Amino acid sequence: MTIVQAEPAVQKCPVTGAPGSGCPVARGPKGLPGIGVAPTYFRDPPGYSLRLQQDHGSMASISLPKAFIQVTDADAIEQVLRTNPDNYRRGTLYRGFLGFMGRGLLTLDNEQWKAHRKVVQPAFAPKRVDQDAAEAVPATLEVLRRWQQAARTGAVIDIAPDAMGISTRTIGTALIGRDLSEPGLDYARASAIAGKVMYTSTIFGLNEFVPNVVPSRYNREKRWAQRVIGGIVANVVAARRHSGEPGTDAAALLLASDLGEQATIDDLRTLLLAGTDTTGQALTWTLYELARHPQARQEVEEEVDRVLDGQPPTADQLAELLATRRAIEESMRLHPPVWQFPRDAIEDEEVAGWHVPAGATVLLSPYCTHRSAEYWEDPEAFEPNRFLEEPTKARHRHAYLPFGGGKRLCIGKGLAMATLVTAVAMISQRLRLRLVSVPPVRYDAYITMFPANGVPVAVSQRR
């Protein structure tokens, strides 16, 4: 009897179907047993991510110790966010957001998310944004009064807290009718702690291995911040219910919906945390970059003098402040408000020629894409004219994503930009800022990037 030896099965790439054992997968440093590259990564996450892109390309693996796939290729980003978004869910890393945001607009997927977005969308319509962004005028005037006093006395000030104050007052008033910059609320500090906790729990920082019952400083601050933010929202909801006059803002729309009390609270916490921190950091970094670059600052000053003639901007005038807007856009390129964000693949997929297996977590990195020489000439330089009409048209549409992309594009983009243009224009009308530290301001990063030790400046009067 002759025994016929079976031919070994030809291995195929699970994505492309091509024969052979080699299917393109993301590679990166393995690091140490059990902890991967965590010790190096956590010293400077954005810096590590940028070096990873330079050394391993636009699809690279980060072991923390779980492996994540860092994605910085614009074609791949477009596929994940726009071409085939239904193959991706918010995923495991968003579980770290639940303690502060609950099951709201940022953490929900697909049909649930659509239902919530539909309810609040009218609060972000253009006419509503024009009305809400007007609050940035008195918010900025209040800051200018303090800074003009510093100009008279020669005092050095840190612009970061006041930039956050403009954001929290404007966006808090727009969404829930409450000025969140009031000192007694401690909202800005609670928001900063929330960002740290959400990032730490998302990327498996060491603090999250300490049980919640242990009264560590991290756990105490986490619980305090949850009480502050939850208390602000709960009080607004209770007051609206009691008065019977819900209003017309995002809080009113949610209260009038059939989503339920907890969904209303979760969505409001999400909108506040996502909107205030990102806008405040974007304003801080824009003022920082203008203080560093006299030519760009002069262009903005000449524009606001010509267009505004010494007056605060109206909604119609915001569209005329093109140089101001370009400076903000370029600042958000170098310092994107959210510097990376994750998605989990549902099924195996080929993404820009790479195998992304089912269940893999991809980390889309605006910070690295925005600094890639593939899309940007001299990417480390501050050059607002990159955002003139012709260069913008010629650029890959997903090479720039300070507000995300695809169907999950940030719902508050219009309000944020109107707030930023208003504040930058009004500050540039009255004052000139000069950095007092010789080395560049050092950044730190959790969910957002922020100046580690503030931005100290000397202030001089323009008019």
Tokens of 300: 């903005």
The SS3 call for residue 315 is helix
* pLDDT for residue 200: 83
Residue 177 structural domain:
38-461
* pLDDT for residue 208: 58
Domain membership of residue 283 (yes or no) is: yes
Domain membership of residue 20 (yes or no) is: no
Tell me the C-alpha distance between 134 and 233, whole Å. Answer: 23
Amino acid identity, residue 387? F
Domain membership of residue 2 (yes or no) is: no
- 272-288: string of b/e by CB count within 10 Å (b at 16+)? bbbbbbbbbbbbbbbbb
* pLDDT for residue 218: 82
* pLDDT for residue 9: 47
Q: What is the pTM of this model?
A: 0.93
* β pairing state of 349-351 and 361-364: unpaired
DSSP 180: T
Yes or no: say if 363 and 38 are a contact pair by the CB < 8 Å rule: no
Closest CA to 273 of 101, 91, 122: 101
Domain membership of residue 13 (yes or no) is: no
Domain membership of residue 18 (yes or no) is: no
Instruction: Quote the number of domains for the chain.
Output: 1
CATH of the domain at 162: 1.10.630.10
- Integer CA distances (angstroms), 108 to 89, 125, 170, 229, in order: 9, 22, 26, 20
* pLDDT for residue 10: 44
Domain membership of residue 26 (yes or no) is: no
**What's the number of CA atoms in the CB half-sphere (13 Å) around residue 437?**
12
* pLDDT for residue 17: 54
Residue by residue, pLDDT tens for the chain (463 residues) are: 444 444 444 445 554 455 444 568 889 998 888 889 988 998 999 999 999 999 999 999 999 878 899 999 999 999 999 999 999 998 888 888 999 999 999 999 988 999 999 999 999 999 999 999 999 999 999 999 999 999 999 999 999 999 999 999 999 999 999 999 998 899 999 999 999 999 888 776 555 566 676 678 888 999 999 999 999 999 999 999 888 777 789 999 999 999 999 999 999 999 999 999 999 999 999 999 999 999 999 999 999 999 999 999 999 999 999 999 999 999 999 999 999 999 999 999 999 888 999 999 999 999 999 999 999 999 999 999 999 999 999 999 999 999 999 989 999 999 999 999 999 999 999 999 999 977 789 999 999 999 999 999 999 998 6
* pLDDT for residue 95: 84
Domain membership of residue 295 (yes or no) is: yes
Domain membership of residue 449 (yes or no) is: yes
Tell me the C-alpha distance between 317 and 418, whole Å. Answer: 11
Yes or no: say if 223 and 302 are a contact pair by the CB < 8 Å rule: no
Closest CA to 337 of 394, 280, 388, 296: 280
